[in-house]
């Protein structure tokens, strides 16, 4: 495609549309993706919070696991309770290694013939290979490479989607999915997302993705949003970014994701790293993921060292920047467990200077998911 700085990069089915809308394209997870459009990151962020933003997340991996025992089989790789899911319900969980480290985080939906799984773009080849190697032959692992994925997020998202479908959108609650005809196209729609807002992720045939996006963008309610605002929105929502806030060196308990481990799984184990994780649930951890609010206006970025008031290193920032919705810098990272209480005074080292701040509860902006 003209203008591609790296011929090894892949494109999503919406690449031409992004360019026509004035997107600034950057390499991301092996794809050329829009980091921002003409409005800029701050305006895109605020429009998503006040109306609706449309994100191209087609670089993510979409995978069908087909087979009657798919849920039970995948439970051997994750700590989430999947067998209790009814068709159309979904759950956040994580692929784990034998030390309890997180290989990837993913969304799993129960379908009539198995599971629908969405994995992170940078991990999808490894995730698919891992599942193909570890799951029994009775479970078919089918990458859905002919589909795009759109995220429609914000308080006006439901109205924008309802205009294009006869299906009752309000009948779909947070963390539920359904087959739905949208703008005349057969889609698989989930009420979910990664902004903290109400919204939807729409799995659509790649050939129809650009036309559907244009229909959603018609009018002023929905605007295109790039990766830059997607990152600031998820940071305000206190949501982890794989490879930054969670990775193979962090466990779900250290990452403050214990809520994703089902009651039955806590009692029975039966997933990779279960001995480590169940011990941490019982005894606690030496470090914990927390929010951090710097004093003043200077942002604190990933990699900044966190120290106590005596100057001793007690942690590291894993994500940080400016929160447009609150007009102040925000960050998250890991600190020694004894310093994890909200209100604890810490200092962040930025360009050799020590900037004061304090541990803060997350999310920084209240979640507004639709629960019916």
**CA distance linking residue 365 with residue 45, whole number of Å:** 13
Which residues have a Cβ under 8 Å from the Cβ of 276 and sit 6 or more positions away?
Answer: 99, 100, 251
Quick: pLDDT tens for 240-285.
999 999 999 999 999 999 999 999 999 999 999 999 999 999 999 9
Q: What is the pLDDT of residue 43?
A: 98
Q: State the pLDDT confidence band at 346, using cuts at 50, 70 and 90.
A: very high
Q: Phi, psi at residue 202, to the nearest 5°?
A: -115, 110
Q: Smallest Cα–Cα separation from 244: which of 305, 319, 165?
A: 319
Q: Smallest Cα–Cα separation from 292: which of 223, 360, 215?
A: 360
Q: Smallest Cα–Cα separation from 27: which of 45, 2, 10?
A: 10
Name the pTM for this structure: 0.96
Of the CA atoms within 13 Å of residue 141, those in its CB half-sphere come to 18
**CA distance linking residue 363 with residue 171, whole number of Å:** 27
Q: State the pLDDT confidence band at 227, using cuts at 50, 70 and 90.
A: very high
Crossing angle, helix 41-50 and helix 227-236, to 10 degrees? Answer: 50
Signed CA dihedral, 102, 228, 361, 298: sign only:
positive
Quick: pLDDT tens for 193-221.
999 999 999 999 999 999 999 999 998 99
Q: What is the mean pLDDT of residues 117-137?
A: 98
Q: State the pLDDT confidence band at 5, using cuts at 50, 70 and 90.
A: low
3-state SS class at 347: strand
CA R_g for the chain: 21
> What residue ranges define each of the domains in the chain, with the CATH number in brackets?
40-283 (3.30.1360.120), 286-372 (2.40.30.110)
- What is the average pLDDT score of the chain? 97
- The 8-class DSSP code of residue 181 comes to E
Question: Is pLDDT at 97 greater than 50 in this prediction?
Answer: yes
Please check whether residue 208 is in contact with residue 185, taking contact to mean a CB–CB distance below 8 angstroms.
yes
Tokens representing 179 are 């087959």
């Amino acid at each position: 495609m003209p203008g591609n700085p790296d011929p090894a990069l892949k494109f999503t089915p919406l690449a031409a549309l992004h360019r026509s809308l004035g997107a600034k394209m950057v390499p991301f997870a092996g794809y050329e993706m829009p980091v921002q459009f003409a409005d800029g990151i701050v305006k895109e962020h605020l429009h998503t919070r006040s109306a609706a933003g449309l994100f191209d997340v087609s670089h993510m991996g979409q995978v069908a696991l087909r087979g009657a025992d798919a849920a039970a089989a995948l439970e051997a790789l994750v700590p989430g309770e999947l067998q209790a899911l009814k068709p159309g319900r979904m759950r956040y969980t994580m692929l784990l290694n034998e030390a309890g480290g997180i290989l990837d985080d993913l969304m799993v939906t129960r379908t009539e013939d198995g599971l629908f799984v969405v994995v992170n773009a940078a991990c999808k080849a490894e995730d698919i290979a891992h599942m193909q190697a570890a799951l029994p032959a009775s479970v078919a692992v089918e990458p859905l490479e002919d589909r795009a994925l759109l995220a429609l997020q914000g308080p006006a998202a439901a109205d924008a989607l309802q205009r294009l479908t006869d299906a009752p959108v309000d009948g779909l609650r947070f963390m539920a999915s359904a087959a739905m005809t949208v703008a005349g196209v057969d889609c698989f729609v989930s009420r979910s997302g990664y902004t903290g807002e109400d919204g939807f992720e729409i799995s659509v045939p790649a050939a129809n993705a650009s036309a559907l996006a244009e229909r959603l963008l018609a009018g002023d309610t929905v605007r295109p949003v790039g990766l830059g605002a997607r990152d600031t929105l998820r940071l305000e929502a206190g949501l982890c970014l794989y490879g930054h806030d969670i990775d193979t060196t962090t466990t779900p308990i250290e990452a403050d994701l214990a809520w994703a481990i089902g009651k039955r799984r806590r009692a029975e184990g039966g997933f990779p790293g279960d001995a480590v994780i169940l011990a941490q649930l019982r005894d606690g951890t030496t470090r914990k993921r927390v929010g951090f609010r710097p004093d003043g206006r200077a942002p604190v970025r990933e990699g900044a060292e966190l120290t106590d008031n005596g100057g001793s290193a007690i942690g590291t920032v894993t994500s940080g920047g400016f929160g447009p919705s609150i007009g102040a810098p925000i960050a998250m990272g890991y600190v020694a467990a004894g310093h994890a209480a909200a209100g604890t005074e810490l200092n962040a080292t930025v360009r050799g200077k020590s900037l004061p701040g304090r541990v803060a509860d997350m999310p920084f902006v209240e979640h507004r998911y639709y629960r019916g």
